[in-house]
Amino acid sequence: MRTAILALAVLGLVAGCGGEAPAPAASAGPSIDPAVERVVEDWPLPAMLPGSALPDLVSVDGGKLLLSWTNSQRGRRHILQFSSYDVAGQRWETAPATIAVGNSMFVNWADTPHIMATRDGALWAHWLQKNGDAPYAYDVMLATSRDGGRRWSEPVSPHDDGTQTEHGFVSLWPRADGGLGIAWLDGRNTAARGDGHGEHAGAMTLRASGIDGALRRSADVEIDARVCDCCQTSAAVTARGPLLVYRGRSEGEIRDILATRLDGEAWTAPKPVHADGWEMPACPVNGPSVAAEGETAVVGWYTAAGGEPEVRIAASSDAGDSFAAPVVVDAGEAVHGRVAVALADGQAWVLWLREDADGQSIWLSRRSPDLATEHQRLQVAALAGRGRGTGFPQLAVAAGIAHVVWTDVDNGVAGLRGARLVTR
């Protein structure tokens, strides 16, 4: 799970803009005893319509959480909404507010919208917009709000290639100058085939750009010329710049997790988080997750390199330049991955999904930052739904409390559910 390293006094304040700089040192935060057991309790979410799904959840300095979701009801337009939560006050500060509405939104269970806040007080959101008749012809669209989400700008795109191909699986991060960093999977080189997805002469690429407070886009750059077509990307800000992780794709169809960091003005050469050696002929639709505090970073991911599904996590003490040997969190046919990680208050957290004969379930492991010690493992929820409809659970930690949001599907109707891990 991405951690927004911000300095917002209040979500709704308006301020200024500006290029990249190292993140500030992480704040001390509350004193957390890792030996204390936590319990799961229901976390009521703001009132939302049936058909709400595709959540995104991020923490904001000052004890705030931002939750976004998409509502898609049969016969109606898609609606992207959000709300903000005060952790200390244990209350939703805003009723569901609409970011964007449209019939041409591209809505997909795995390629989901995100929300972010930047240091200048702005809110940002992205979604996907159809740009042609092919099934996977869509663009990334961005909008910003400078009044706490009451009004949103006209959307802009971080890319201008003009191809009717796939652009998505976005990661966002706050820039120290008040602007926004963005990375995405880009299908411009796949245009020859026509549907912008799957096997084709050109490969899916990974690209990144920046957007300033006036919605001016810097030139996008290609980070990797060949990546896995439809696995999520993830980014977190370290003390030495944004760290971006994604699933690569070699000529021999090895689809391991790679990491790169924006070092000044250039991205470092992508390197494996671990050489799993997973040979996979098709995209597993199961991307990695990264979190960071200072120079410590944690990456979690799904692989079946050893012959059976596993959730692995690995830690770095040098802002992602190198990673220790991975720890296997869970293994077996029931492991479905869909991993989210968080790093806060001297603890690491990893969330993942299982599915067996009894149904789907969401699990959480709480560990030391070096991942060597597991303090607690517990089931967060048992789901009514199965398969893809439940999407990707989301995790955010604020004030020592882990918050989890997920989609469930009951009698064919999607809805969002929430839980939090608290001491009693």
Residues 6+ apart with CB under 8 A from 127: 70, 80, 99, 100, 105, 113, 141
* 7 located within any domain: no
Q: Which domain holds residue 304?
A: 39-422
Give the per-residue pLDDT at 28.
Answer: 45
Nearest residue to 208 via CA among 229, 234, 177, 189: 234
Please work out, in degrees rounded to the nearest 5, the angle formed at the alpha carbon of residue 236 by the alpha carbons of 20 and 67: 110
pTM of full prediction above 0.75: yes
Residues of the chain predicted below pLDDT 70: 1-31, 74-75, 192-201
Please report where in the chains the tokens 């789901």 appear, as a residue: 383
Nearest to 81 by CA among 42, 125, 119: 125
pLDDT of residue 119: 86
What pLDDT does residue 6 have?
Answer: 35
CATH number at residue 85: 2.120.10.10
In-domain check, residue 33 = no
CA angle 319, 35, 360 (to 5 degrees): 75
Evaluate whether residue 5 is within a structural domain: no
Task: Take residue 331 and report the two structure tokens written for it.
Answer: 């293994």
What are the CA-CA distances from residue 348 to residues 33, 36, 351, 364 (Å)? 13, 14, 10, 10
Query: Is 218 within a domain?
Result: yes
Exposure string of 27-64, with b = 16+ CB inside 10 Å and e = fewer, is eebeebeeeeebebeebebbebeebbbbbbbbbbbbbb
In whole angstroms, give the CA distance from residue 212 to residue 235.
18
Instruction: Indicate the Cα dihedral angle 115, 108, 53, 246, nearest 10°.
Output: -50
Considering the domain boundaries, does residue 230 fall inside one? yes
pLDDT value at residue 73: 77
pLDDT at 26: 42
Q: Is residue 292 part of a domain?
A: yes
Domain count, the chain: 1
Say if residues 190 and 199 touch (Cβ distance below 8 Å).
Answer: no
DSSP one-letter string for 138-167: EEEEEEEESSTTSS-PPPB-S-----SS-E
